[in-house]
Amino acid sequence: MTAPERVQRDVAAGLARDLDAEFERFVTTYQDRIYAFALNLVGRATIAEDVAQETFVAAYRALRGYSPARRQTLSIRAWLYTIALNRVRNLARSSGKVVSLDGAAFDVADPHAGPAERAERAETAGELRGALRRLPLRYRVPVVLRHVDGRGYDEIAALLDRPVGTVKSNVHRGLALLRAELASPHTTRSTHAH
């Protein structure tokens, strides 16, 4: 059993024993991961904070309705990511816009690099953020989960409730769209925005 699996098991056991007493531990254990995930999807810190907060409010409400046995067996990380992803999807639908990835989540600048190298990397990061922003959400989410968050295909499939083959295909297609966008001389155009 890995360390994250042990932590998840311990937190789930605490929530099963006493939801109100253990909820703060639950939040502090997962808040940074959920915030980072939301930030990678929406790109703005204030929106990511709202998504994370709404995620934990929704989680608390749901947990209150679950039996202790169900709380004990809950796959907390996957469940929280699903709630956060649904919040982002709802935000994208309600705003009528594509949620952007304009934040610093893809900053590839090396603090030890020289000024020219830092400038080149910043330009590359900006191009990548722009290209990611133009990806449809159905490709952006699995690409972020796989290549930014470092999740495995099986975990992404569980989070998105999709077959592993579909997830692999969407990651592959998303990366192909990114490559094509970055290779294009017009990387600032707004194609692929759905």
Residue 9 has pLDDT above 60, yes or no: yes
C-alpha to C-alpha distance for 123 and 109, rounded to whole angstroms: 10
Angle at 49 between CA 48 and CA 52, to 5 degrees: 85
Answer CATH for 3-95 from 3.40.50.720, 3.40.50.2300, 1.10.1740.10, 3.40.50.10860: 1.10.1740.10
Phi, psi of 164 (to 5 degrees): -60, -40
C-alpha to C-alpha distance for 91 and 141, rounded to whole angstroms: 14
**The pLDDT of residue 96:** 53
Mind listing the pLDDT tens digit for each residue in 112-147? 555 566 555 555 556 676 677 778 888 888 888 888
Domain layout of the chain by residue ranges:
3-95, 104-183
Residues 6+ apart with CB under 8 A from 129: 43, 101, 102, 103, 106
Residue 193 has pLDDT above 80, yes or no: no
> What confidence tier does 109 reach under pLDDT thresholds 50, 70, 90?
very low
As a whole number, the mean pLDDT across the chain is 79
Mind listing the pLDDT tens digit for each residue in 53-71? 999 999 999 999 999 999 9
> What confidence tier does 39 reach under pLDDT thresholds 50, 70, 90?
confident
Please provide the CATH number assigned to the domain covering 104-183. Answer: 1.10.10.10
The whole-model pTM stands at: 0.66
SS (HEC) of the chain: CCHHHHHHHHHHHHHHHCHHHHHHHHHHHHHHHHHHHHHHHHCCHHHHHHHHHHHHHHHHHHHHHCCHHHHHHCCHHHHHHHHHHHHHHHHHHHHCCCCCCCCHHHCCCCCCCCHHHHHHHHHHHHHHHHHHHHCCHHHHHHHHHHHHCCCCHHHHHHHHCCCHHHHHHHHHHHHHHHHHHHHCCCCCCCCCCC
Residue 97 has pLDDT above 50, yes or no: no
Name the residue among 24, 162, 15, 151 with its Cα closest to residue 74.
15
> What confidence tier does 187 reach under pLDDT thresholds 50, 70, 90?
very low
